[in-house]
Amino acid sequence: MAPPLWTFPPNWSNSFKETLEWLTDVLQSPSGAEQRRALRLAPRRSFSFEVLVHQADRTRFDLWAHVLGAQPLALPIWTDAQYLGTPVAAGSSSIVASTAGYDFGAGGLAALASDELDSWELVDVDQVTAGGLALATPTSHSWPKGSRLLPVRKALLQSLPEPVRLTDELARASVSFELIEPSSWPVQLPATLYRGKPVLESRPDESNDLTLGYERLTQRLDNQVGIPRITDTSGYGFVLQQHAWAIWGREEHTAFRSLLYGLRGRQASIWVPTHAADLVAAGQVQGQTLQVQPCGYADLITTGKARMGRQDLRIELVTGEALHRRITAAAAGGTLET
């Protein structure tokens, strides 16, 4: 028997948050070498949003929380809603719809709803095809063109809501759900490879400031009497770089989710360019030699350990082409560095 269907839509004037949570076992040695192991086959998935309920819906929401607050429920995936382009007659065993990039799954659930969201029907999905859904049981009602179709997942409330009563007929509440079924998704890492690893070529969204941090593996020995002794066990500097995305449209949303599933949390590794003007080409570029404006690279990056994280380049040409190369030696001379 299908769980009760959650029919209270999000208040889209506030944020709607989806969280994917992987679990990675990271074993790190004092030298900086790491072994990473994914502990979950699929990420835990949760949703948080605000609902605004009015009149009879406010009473129904109160009864839901009181009676069904701890029970599994059928949660529509609101961000994957679409409008029907083809009517669905009562007794239909299939629905014509877009499925690429939507969270439909064979053996799962889907929901049909009127445009005003005042009538609903929960259906069992037998198969998912490129052109729509094949249903395990026929529909009970007819749904005209323009009705809504949403994927549905089984979920639990993470905590009972605490509604804020704005008036005697209007209330606001924040709700959080955790899915209680696996959420699989196609894996797709960037196609560009450098030294056997994918390269994240998409530029970050810089509408807000991006942070850059540095980390070293140090051990501090302090007997509280003499001068403390600090040992840098790895000799490497580790860079912590923030990367932000601004995603628009189904295609970008699908690609971003496939990237996250490909990374499997912290298990997989990729190259991440700084996307900053770190080295500025000057003079001529000939063969395997590149001259750049002075920046201290040749003076500071002198050993193999110092070069770690600062020896690989992404060279972006005015044509849009990008080259990835490794620096093998650097020298300062005259007004340029080579």
**DSSP assignment of 127-177, as one string?**
EEETTEEEESS--SS-B-TT-EEEEEEEEEESS----EESSSSEEEEEEEE
Question: Residue 95 class from Cβ within 10 Å (0-12 exposed, 13-18 middle, 19+ buried)?
Answer: buried
- Take residue 210 and report the two structure tokens written for it: 């991006």
What pLDDT does residue 16 have?
94
Helices (H) and strands (E) in the chain, counts: 4, 25
Residue 85 neighbours by CB distance under 10 Å: 11
Task: Check: CB of residue 177 under 8 Å from CB of residue 157.
Answer: yes
Task: Check: CB of residue 272 under 8 Å from CB of residue 287.
Answer: no
Phi-psi region of 78 (alpha: psi -120 to 50; beta: other; left: phi over 0): alpha
Distance (Å, whole) CA 44 – CA 130: 27
Distance (Å, whole) CA 96 – CA 132: 4
What pLDDT does residue 213 have?
87
The set of residues, in sequence order, having a beta carbon less than 8 Å from that of 272 and lying 6+ positions away, is 200, 241, 243
Residue 87 neighbours by CB distance under 10 Å: 13
What pLDDT does residue 77 have?
97
Count CA atoms within 13 Å of residue 254 on its CB side: 11
Question: For 104, which DSSP code?
Answer: -
What pLDDT does residue 306 have?
62
What pLDDT does residue 303 have?
65
The set of residues, in sequence order, having a beta carbon less than 8 Å from that of 159 and lying 6+ positions away, is 176
Residue 300 neighbours by CB distance under 10 Å: 11
Task: Tell if the pTM clears 0.85, that is, is over it.
Answer: yes
Task: Check: CB of residue 193 under 8 Å from CB of residue 199.
Answer: yes
Q: Which helix (H) or strand (E) holds 299?
A: helix 297-300
What pLDDT does residue 237 have?
81
- Take residue 175 and report the two structure tokens written for it: 């709700």
Distance (Å, whole) CA 141 – CA 106: 22
Question: For 310, which DSSP code?
Answer: T
What pLDDT does residue 304 have?
62
Residues of the chain short of pLDDT 70, as ranges, are 284, 302-306
- Take residue 212 and report the two structure tokens written for it: 């850059």
Distance (Å, whole) CA 208 – CA 210: 6
